[in-house]
Amino acid sequence: MSNNPSQKIALVTGAGSGIGRAVALALLADGFKVVAAGRRAEPLQELVETAREQGFEALAVPTDVRDPASVDALFATVEEVYGRLDVIFNNAGINAPAVPMDELSVEQWLNVVNTNVTGVFLCCRGAFSLMRRQQPQGGRIINNGSISAHTPRPFTAPYTSSKHAVLGLTKSLALDGREFNIACSQIDIGNALTELSVRMTKGVRQANGETAVEPMVDVKHIAEAVQYMASLPLSANVLNMTVMATNMPFVGRG
């Protein structure tokens, strides 16, 4: 591992499973060296070993995005090992129980906000700082929003609020990054099939109170979308992209 400005460096948070893992593997296949961040060290190390077996280079950095010191340490490691960062995919996120708001604890609300909003802010802040200072200057920040950044599901006030906040953060960074050659994008994902979302195949509460099984989309299509966003020159940007199962009930009235 060496500081070589000709190599492309990507950072993926929540890289140990689901969408994060799929995107990390896709970026590796595209020639990026990938820094894999997440709270659990074991799946990150498994990803590193999978990358090595395929002839790629990944680095596991266990990180809690809610903790400013942990995020600072992550970016210090990226800078020390690689000297720069070209792309970050802010993917780490959590949900809260789908219950009426008065049944949610303040702790559950704060856990979602601290992870999905403050955690994304901290990682954007760290990436922005490094991308602004490095030579050549600039890079790309890609945030995992959700279609919940636009339309809620029933009983998802914490998650929906957090993803609306991410949308505002993305727009702000897309504006503020211009003079430093930093592009910021958001991908809004609907019903990607991962080990975390498989429960949705058994039925999801709808706006009219009924429970219905919804179509799902292969996570590889999400990874390919992020691959495309990451492949663009910094003079071009996908500000917002929605990738969803075609027939899910997002478009229309519930």
Q: Which region holds residue 228: left if phi is over 0, alpha if psi is between -120 and 50, else beta?
A: alpha
Residue closest to 87 by CA, chosen among 185, 15, 188, 167:
185
Higher pLDDT, residue 61 or 191: 61
Provide the mean pLDDT of the chain. Answer: 94
Task: Kindly state whether residue 170 falls inside one of the protein's structural domains.
Answer: yes
Backbone angles phi, psi at 58, to 5 degrees: -130, 155
Please identify every residue annotated as catalytic: 159
DSSP class of 118: I
Contact (Cβ atoms closer than 8 angstroms) between residue 40 and residue 156: no
CATH code (residue 140): 3.40.50.720
Q: What pLDDT does residue 2 have?
A: 46
Q: Is residue 254 assigned to a domain?
A: no
DSSP E strands in the chain: the ranges are 8-13, 32-38, 58-62, 87-90, 139-144, 182-190, 192-193, 204-205, 211-212, 217-218, 240-244
pLDDT beyond 60 at 142: yes
Q: Which residues pair with 219 in a beta bridge?
A: none
Asked whether residue 37 is assigned to any structural domain, the reply reads yes
Q: Omega of the bond prior to 136 within 30 degrees of 0, cis?
A: yes
**Distances 206 to 78, 106, 147, 155, 199 between C-alpha atoms, Å:** 43, 25, 15, 10, 15
pLDDT at 218: 94
Confirm whether 212 is domain-assigned. yes
Average pLDDT for residues 2-19, to the nearest whole number?
Answer: 85
Q: Give domain status of residue 1, yes or no.
A: no
pLDDT tens track for 144-175: 999 999 999 999 999 999 999 999 999 999 99
Count: domains in the chain: 1
Residue pair 133/125 in contact by the 8 Å Cβ criterion: no
**Dist. CA 160–CA 151, nearest whole Å:** 8
- Identify whether 3 is part of a domain: no
Cβ atoms within 10 Å of 24's Cβ, excluding its own: 34
The answer as to whether 15 is a domain residue is yes
Q: Would residue 250 count as lying in a domain?
A: no
Tell me the residue range of the domain where 91 lies: 8-244
Q: pTM for the whole thing?
A: 0.94
Please tell me the chain's helix, strand, coil percentages from 3-state DSSP, rounded to the nearest 5.
Answer: 45, 20, 35
Q: Which of 23-32, 73-82, 188-197, 210-219 is predicted least confidently?
A: 188-197
